[in-house]
Amino acid sequence: MNIEQIIVGSLETNCYILKKDKMALIIDPGDEPEKILRAVTELEIELILATHKHYDHITALRAVKKATNAQAAIHPLDWTEDFDLRLADGQILDFCGEQIAVIHTPGHTPGGCCFLWNDILFSGDTLFPNGPGATASGGNEKAIYKSIREKLLILPDATRVYPGHGPSTTIGRERSLY
């Protein structure tokens, strides 16, 4: 499986596109739908995943859905009417034989989720290099620390973390901050 990172929108959101066997899975269609659609030309979209409901992660959702007829999934606690499917903690998604685990990590938003594929974690706005995501507007600081400690730091040190904004890190590099 191949992972492409596209940076979209004024908040420079990382949109990740997983590709395998002429199929694609999109994580966080944050903005600039034409840029996202260019990256999936000639591919069929299996599914669109949102780490959480903040606009900078889903602004392109409607346009991408309209152009591709793909379905979109999010955790019910972050539900908006643009979604089709509800994610659950511990759920395993199958993408062309690749297993992607859903990890519900409330704190930045109530329904925030991370997605784990082998040793790669798509952490949304939950875990960044040098600290957790913001909780000032509608988040819960206690909850985000609990989510990171109990659900993310149990992963091996070598796990690579691809956050919703900015550069990647590893679980090992972030562990000492918690």
What is the CA angle 84-89-90, rounded to 5? 115
Residue 173 CB partners (closer than 8 Å, separation 6+)? 129
Confirm or reject binding of residue 31 to Zn ion (CB under 5 A).
no
Minimum gap (Å) between residue 46 Cβ and Zn ion:
23
Q: Among 93-101, 135-143, 146-154, 156-164, which window interacts with Zn ion (CB under 5 A)?
A: 156-164
Strands 160-163 and 120-124, by their bridges, are parallel
What is the C-alpha separation between 153 and 155, in angstroms, rounded?
A: 5
Minimum gap (Å) between residue 138 Cβ and Zn ion:
10
Confirm or reject binding of residue 112 to Zn ion (CB under 5 A).
no
Confirm or reject binding of residue 28 to Zn ion (CB under 5 A).
no
Whole-angstrom Cα Rg for the chain: 15
What is the CA angle 165-169-170, rounded to 5? 140
| Residue closer to Zn ion (CB basis): 12 or 21 | 12
Confirm or reject binding of residue 54 to Zn ion (CB under 5 A).
yes
Residue 158's nearest CA partner among 168, 169, 172, 144 is 172
Minimum gap (Å) between residue 21 Cβ and Zn ion:
30
Minimum gap (Å) between residue 72 Cβ and Zn ion:
17
Q: Among 33-41, 56-64, 68-76, 83-91, which window interacts with Zn ion (CB under 5 A)?
A: 56-64
Contact 45, 67 (CB under 8 A): no
| Residue closer to Zn ion (CB basis): 133 or 155 | 133
Minimum gap (Å) between residue 145 Cβ and Zn ion:
16
Interface with Zn ion (CB under 5 A): 54, 56, 125, 164
